[in-house]
Amino acid sequence: MEVQKTALYNYHKNLGAKFVPFAGYEMPIQYKDGIVKEHISTRTHAGFFDVSHMGQFFLEGDETLIVSLEKIIPADLKNLKVNHSKYSFLLNNEGGIIDDLIITRTEKGFCIILNAACKENDIKQISQFLNKDHKHLLNNDLSLIALQGPKSVEILEKLIPGVANLKFMTGSNFEYEGEKLYVTRSGYTGEDGFEISISNTKVEKLIDYLISNEVKPIGLGARDTLRLEAGLCLYGHDLNEKINPVEANLKWAIAKKRKEVGGFNGWEKIKNLLANGSEKIRVGIKPDGKVIARENTKIFSSDNNEIGFVTSGTFGPSVNAPVAMGYVKSEFSEIGTSIQLEVRGKKYGGKISELPFYKKSYVK
């Protein structure tokens, strides 16, 4: 498959981006400042992220569309209000996570933001449940820009009046440059901020404005350190088709009503796990020293039995210490449990830690 580029590719290049192949796209991993400075400037001021590689999948239909989507998504879509968003997943028959996503109710149906690496398969999986009256479109004419950090609201409100009134996980249509754009108050960094769905033809102009307000471009490198500090999962690392929401410690994301009534893929299995717990569970991990426990690091109990593995690990610039997430046998998941991490053949001490590592500051 040919490597794809977002509408901002040349813009990134001019900003001094270093590119890496990611999910079939050439994406900036960092810019001139480097990962730590990009991370800190997002937490202290604001940063923008080009996340246009993610799928913006629009669905239209009558109430039968809700019935169809609820078979594969365990959110309460029936009671989701227009312009409100939920974090959820696509589930397979075993209750495994095909992808994690944000679904927003629109006037005519739903918009689902899908991970870039999964989007084609996701659409195939969703389509199995659709009927011929349900219209759907993966809109590649739109860019998606995340603006994240404490100054985001002040900066975007000057350009697009009204965005300051949005609460976390809600959105609305706005006018910009004579075109409609859709803004949600959301993000994946643990900071207040917005995600802006804007046409490819207008996106450069928006970025010009952000840069003139000292908003720094942020690459995938800092996106990873930010989301990990915020305790958020990265699909393909912390989540995959063999992991279910109970194991992933994401049962909060299954709607209460759906937990009781079911009617979605893998419910039998998930119902059982909800009642009895899972064998392994996702936890936060803090190494005691400076050693970084990266993905696939083996986790041992204090008496040297192998009890799990790391799925994401890095240095957290705001925590100023290494941080990680991984899966351990449930009996070792209590906060504060001492563990050992095997890095380059040597065992280093660590502890099961609360998530997030960095306190979120969403505007609710």
Partner 1 sequence: MSEKKFSKKHEWVSLDGDVATVGITKHATEMLGDIVFVEVPDAGKAVEKEGQAAVVESTKAASDVYSPISGEITEGNKAIADDPGSVNSDPEGASWFFKLKIKDKGEYDSLMSKDEYDKFCKENPS
Beta-strand pair 306-316/298-301: antiparallel
Residues 261-290 that bind partner 1 (CB under 8 A): 290
* 251: amino acid identity, one letter: K
Give the integer Cα–Cα distance in Å for 34 and 30: 6
Minimal distance in Å, beta carbon 275 to partner 1?
Answer: 41
Identify the residue among 190, 245, 266, 317 touching partner 1 (CB under 8 A).
317
Residues 324-353 that bind partner 1 (CB under 8 A): 344
300: three-class secondary structure by DSSP: strand
Q: Do 104 and 114 form a contact (C-beta atoms < 8 A)?
A: no
Minimal distance in Å, beta carbon 343 to partner 1?
Answer: 9
Span from 72-80, 111-119, 188-196, 310-318 in contact with partner 1 (CB under 8 A):
310-318
Identify the residue among 315, 319, 356, 360 touching partner 1 (CB under 8 A).
315
Span from 43-51, 157-165, 241-249, 311-319 in contact with partner 1 (CB under 8 A):
311-319
Identify the residue among 203, 234, 292, 325 touching partner 1 (CB under 8 A).
292
Give the integer Cα–Cα distance in Å for 159 and 174: 11
Residues 142-161 that bind partner 1 (CB under 8 A): none
Secondary-structure breakdown of the chain: helix, strand, coil percentages, each rounded to the nearest 5: 25, 35, 40
Minimal distance in Å, beta carbon 353 to partner 1?
Answer: 18
Minimal distance in Å, beta carbon 27 to partner 1?
Answer: 14
- Give yes or no for residue 162 binding partner 1 (CB under 8 A): no
- Give yes or no for residue 308 binding partner 1 (CB under 8 A): no
User: Measured from the CB atom, is 225 or 265 closer to partner 1?
Assistant: 225
Give the integer Cα–Cα distance in Å for 198 and 334: 44
Give the integer Cα–Cα distance in Å for 97 and 91: 5
Give the integer Cα–Cα distance in Å for 297 and 51: 29
Minimal distance in Å, beta carbon 301 to partner 1?
Answer: 24
- 152-159 vs 203-212: helix axis angle to the nearest 10? 130
* Residue 188 token pair: 């994946």
CA dihedral 311, 315, 317, 318 (to 10 degrees): 50
- Give yes or no for residue 34 binding partner 1 (CB under 8 A): yes
Q: Which residues here bind partner 1, judged by CB under 8 A?
A: 29-30, 34-37, 221, 225, 290-292, 294, 314-315, 317, 322, 344
